[in-house]
Structure formats: C-alpha cells, structure tokens
Homo-oligomer: A and B are copies of this chain.
Amino acid sequence: MSSEPAPAPASASTEELEADLSAATISKKQLKKDARKAEKAGKASQRQQQQQPQAEEADPFAANYGDVPVEEIQSKAISGRSWTDIGDLDEAAAGRSVLIRGSAQTLRPVSKKMAFVVLRQSMSTVQCVLVASADAGVSTQMVRFATSLSKESIVDVEGVVTLPKEPLKATTQQVEIQVRKVYCINRAIPTLPINLEDAARSEAEFEKAEQNGEKLVRVLQDTRLNYRAIDLRTPANQAIFRIQCHVENKFREFLFLENFIGIHSPKLIGGSSEGGASVFKLEYNGQPACLAQSPQLYKQMSICGGFGRVFEVGPVFRAEKSNTHRHLCEFIGLDAEMEIKEHYFEVCDIIDGLFVAIFKHLNENCQKELETINRQYPFEPLKYLEKTLKLTYEEGIKMLKEAGTEIEPMGDLNTEAEKKLGRLVKEKYGTEFFILYRYPLAVRPFYTMPCYDDPAYSNSFDVFIRDTTYEVFSCS
C-alpha cells in the first residue's frame, strides 16, 4: 500500500511510553486514554477537512464518496466485503453489484452530471460510469469528486455491472460499472513524472501520429528507470513480468518431474568461478572475495556429490566490459546439470523437451499476457516443431555455404552467421527453434569431451531460438 503510516500523536511518543510504563501500571491506562483522546481529536479534524466542500452544499449522498481517512485503512476492522478483480469482470457478471479497487487511469468529465473513470488493475481496465441520480444515490458533488481525483490515485468503486451498447475500445474489459459509491484510498500527486499512456504506446502509434502531423511524448529509458514503479504499471511490463514467472515455474516443474533437484549455490565466493570472464571483486571480512559469474563448478560439485540432476535459478554476475545484446552485468540464470549415463543426447533431449514444454505452457496459459505485449511490442508467434530439429554443425555450415556464406569449417559462428542460419532453417524446416550439435572442439572450452570418432569435433550442442543462441556445453 502506498499510504504513509499515521504518525503517533506527539503526546504519546514511544520513549515517553516506556518511561511511564516502567513507573506504574496505572499510568498505562491513563496513557492509553490520553492516546485515544488525541487520536479522536485528530480523526475529527480530519473528517471536518474532508467534508468541508460537501458541507457547503449539504449533499444527502455525502456518505457515498470521499477520501478514506487514514484510520479507516489502519486495520480497524474486517468488513467481510469482497473485492472483485477487474480482470474477472465479464459479461457473466452483468447485473451484479461489485466492489473493485484500482488505479484511476483516465478521468473524463462529460457534464456536471456525468463522468467516466477508467480503473486499472494490473493488465486489465474497466470503465466506471457516474451519472447523477437520486435513485442511484449519486449527486453532482459525487461526480465532481470523482473527476477531481488525480490520475493513478487508488480508488474503490462499488457499482452494478452493465453491458455496453457498443464494444469498448479504451478498456480491456467489455463491461461497464454503474457507480454507486466511490472512495479514494490514496491520492497520487497531481503531476506524475510519467504519463502511463505515453509509456504504453507502440511504435506504430508513434508513426501514425507523425503521419498525422501530431507529436506524441516519448518516455525514454532513463525516465522509465528513474520512475520504475510507474513504468512497471504499463500493461506490457505487467505481462512481461508475469511471463517471466511462468517461464521459471515451468522450468522448475519440468525438471523436478525429471528428477532434478533445485539448489542454490553461493554467490559470494573466494575465487573466480570460471576461467575467462572478469569478476566483481569485493572484501569479505578482510579477505578478497568475488561474485559468482556462473554456478557451473557448484553444479558439478553437486553432481559429484551424488545429486544426479540439479538445477538452479539465481543471479549471475559478469563484470565484462562487453556491450552486446547477450551481455548483462547481472542477470537471472536458469541452469541445469545432469549425469550422463552413456550419451550426451540425454542432455539434449532434456533441454529440447524443456524448451518445448515452456513454449507450450506460455501458449496455453499466457494468451492474455502475450496479446498484451503484442499490442506495444508486436511479434510473430514462435514457430517450433513437436519433435525438435537437430542439425550437426557440419550441416549448418553447409547450409550457410550454399546460401553464400563461407564459414571456416573448424571456426565458430559469429552472431551474423547464427542469425542467417536461423533464417535458413526457418525457411527450410519451418522452425525457429533447433539444436546445432557436434561443434568443432577448437571452439569449445576445456571441459568439453571430444567426439569418440573424430577428436576434431566435440560432444556439444547449442540451442537456437529465433535470433538468439543459448550455449549448452556438454561432456560425458
């Protein structure tokens, strides 16, 4: 909750309390009395302030709206009322009286007697309609109160669900709420550093506006990061975080069912965790330490320790001064490690099944999230096969060669070649997800096993998803 805790009355500071209470128990009662008296006085003056505008015009429906005083949200009582999630409001709810809580996204006065308020909760928005009417208990003062709220204020609305005559374009939910009561839990400051509408626009909307000679406000990355709590409220960000959580859930579930155990390896370590990458160094009680740049060795220790199969989801720290779309100083790694019984394809099969399970899970459980992201950042659905395509490295460079890109047969693929291979595979096999295996040993690090039939190649594979490669090393 964004409301500030009410300060304790000055006459009952906690230090004084302790002093008094240690003297005698009778003073405790007196103190409580005093405290209550002070509190009541405070509440009364608060109420007076809030009701002043209404008092002027003697509104018989004054109880149906207003700012909720702090003590009312101070865990005073459990009312037993239940709130409906805005995302759950659909045609089936028509005619029902509901109570919702959301952020005031838009406030649109139509006349003295009518106004629209769009409330948002996570990715969902609903239109609330205020029409002054004695039957409904809605006064013109109440309409004015509602439109006087600042954007992004937290608002409770009680009302009846109705179906609109025409489809609503501005909200996700295709119902309206005929408002009976409206209370503001917490007012936002009148001018916010980010306007949510600006932060939620797609490139297409910017282009369209430009073509019409309009100039729309762009919220740049710095502003977004400086006011992250506001930027997070855009529907796309709400959806992205939910999808991240779903990916992690499915990753854990799939591997757990395949007898993997989730571990958490140390992040504060005494040495550097993998050769090559540079590390963040720090002081640990007078001794040099660094942040783990990979759980690799700990995963291997777990396997050596008898766990058979382990996974880890946790932060990875990289101090490299690299600046590619595949480098971040801190990211969340989804890592897995397993014993191989006789062939590294066992790992291949797990990774393959894992990715396909995640793709399916997202398609089946996150349609709303995918559509929400698609509105701001359009994308095509990922193409993948039920049985994942596996190509040898040799086949891959052959495809590239036939398409005019000559690759050093024992060299590595650069990012450009990887992307081109991705396009070629998509054209030929209709998939954006595939596995390339049997890399030249020369381009794999020290812990990769050479192929039994040709030590120039290695028991290794990488996973390709659209334009991105995920490196998976393998040894047996």
The reply to whether B344 and A75 form a contact with Cβ atoms under 8 Å apart is yes
The reply to whether A71 and B452 form a contact with Cβ atoms under 8 Å apart is yes
Using Cβ atoms and an 8 Å threshold, which residues of chain B touch A306?
103, 120-122, 232-233, 238
Using Cβ atoms and an 8 Å threshold, which residues of chain B touch A75?
340, 342-345, 449, 451-452, 459, 476
Measured between alpha carbons, how far is A262 from B247 in the docked complex, in Å? 10
Using Cβ atoms and an 8 Å threshold, which residues of chain B touch A429?
none
**A6 in contact (CB, < 8 A):** yes
The reply to whether A409 and B21 form a contact with Cβ atoms under 8 Å apart is yes
The reply to whether B264 and A342 form a contact with Cβ atoms under 8 Å apart is no
Measured between alpha carbons, how far is A280 from B317 in the docked complex, in Å? 15
Using Cβ atoms and an 8 Å threshold, which residues of chain B touch A442?
14-15, 17-18
The reply to whether A282 and B281 form a contact with Cβ atoms under 8 Å apart is yes
Of A12, A74, A411, chain B has the most CB atoms within 10 Å of the CB of A74
Using A74-B451, A122-B306, A305-B229 as known contacts, say yes or no to A267 and B315 having CB atoms under 8 A apart: yes
The reply to whether A73 and B21 form a contact with Cβ atoms under 8 Å apart is no
Stretch touching chain B among A45-53, A158-166, A296-304, A464-472: A296-304
The reply to whether A343 and B281 form a contact with Cβ atoms under 8 Å apart is no
Using A121-B308, A228-B305, A233-B305 as known contacts, say yes or no to A261 and B280 having CB atoms under 8 A apart: no
**A222 in contact (CB, < 8 A):** no
| Residue among B32, B237, B252, B302 making CB contact with A456, cutoff 8 Å | B32
- The interface bits of chain A over 389-411 (1 if a CB of B lies within 8 angstroms of the residue's CB, else 0) are 00000000000000000001111
The reply to whether B307 and A232 form a contact with Cβ atoms under 8 Å apart is yes
Measured between alpha carbons, how far is A171 from B21 in the docked complex, in Å? 63
Query: In the complex, what residue of chain B is closest to A25 when comparing beta carbons?
Result: B409
Instruction: For the complex formed, measure the closest distance between the CB of A47 and the CB atoms of chain B, giving whole angstroms.
Output: 14
**A422 in contact (CB, < 8 A):** no
| Residue among B101, B341, B411, B450 making CB contact with A74, cutoff 8 Å | B450
**A135 in contact (CB, < 8 A):** no
Stretch touching chain B among A76-84, A204-212, A355-363: A76-84
Using Cβ atoms and an 8 Å threshold, which residues of chain B touch A280?
268, 282-284
Instruction: For the complex formed, measure the closest distance between the CB of A42 and the CB atoms of chain B, giving whole angstroms.
Output: 10
Residues of chain A in range 307-365 having any CB-CB distance to chain B below 8 Å? 307-308, 313-315, 317, 321, 329-330, 332, 339-345
**A62 in contact (CB, < 8 A):** no
Query: In the complex, what residue of chain B is closest to A280 when comparing beta carbons?
Result: B282
| Residue among B18, B263, B267, B410 making CB contact with A14, cutoff 8 Å | B410
| Residue among B14, B263, B315 making CB contact with A241, cutoff 8 Å | B263
The reply to whether B18 and A241 form a contact with Cβ atoms under 8 Å apart is no
- The interface bits of chain A over 282-302 (1 if a CB of B lies within 8 angstroms of the residue's CB, else 0) are 111100000100000000011
Using Cβ atoms and an 8 Å threshold, which residues of chain B touch A264?
244, 315, 332
The reply to whether A330 and B268 form a contact with Cβ atoms under 8 Å apart is yes
| Residue among B2, B238, B267 making CB contact with A304, cutoff 8 Å | B2
**A167 in contact (CB, < 8 A):** no
**A366 in contact (CB, < 8 A):** no
**A272 in contact (CB, < 8 A):** no
**A419 in contact (CB, < 8 A):** no
The reply to whether A343 and B18 form a contact with Cβ atoms under 8 Å apart is no
Query: In the complex, what residue of chain B is closest to A441 when comparing beta carbons?
Result: B14
The reply to whether A408 and B2 form a contact with Cβ atoms under 8 Å apart is no
- The interface bits of chain A over 243-275 (1 if a CB of B lies within 8 angstroms of the residue's CB, else 0) are 011001100100010000111101110000000
**A174 in contact (CB, < 8 A):** no
Using A18-B442, A233-B305, A302-B232 as known contacts, say yes or no to A455 and B345 having CB atoms under 8 A apart: no
The contact sample of 22 A-B pairs, CB cut-off 8 A, is A1-B339, A1-B476, A3-B476, A5-B449, A21-B410, A28-B409, A73-B342, A77-B343, A79-B342, A101-B341, A103-B306, A121-B306, A228-B305, A233-B306, A238-B307, A249-B252, A249-B256, A268-B317, A268-B329, A280-B282, A284-B329, A285-B321
A interface list, Cβ under 8 A from B = 1-3, 5-6, 8-9, 12, 14-15, 17-18, 21-22, 28, 31-32, 35-36, 39, 71, 73-79, 81, 83, 101, 103, 120-122, 228-233, 237-238, 241-242, 244-245, 248-249, 252, 256, 261-264, 266-268, 280-285, 291, 301-308, 313-315, 317, 321, 329-330, 332, 339-345, 408-411, 440-442, 447-456, 459, 475-476
Pick the 10 closest A-B CB pairs, nearest first. Answer: A232-B305, A14-B442, A74-B452, A282-B282, A8-B455, A245-B262, A229-B304, A233-B306, A5-B449, A75-B343
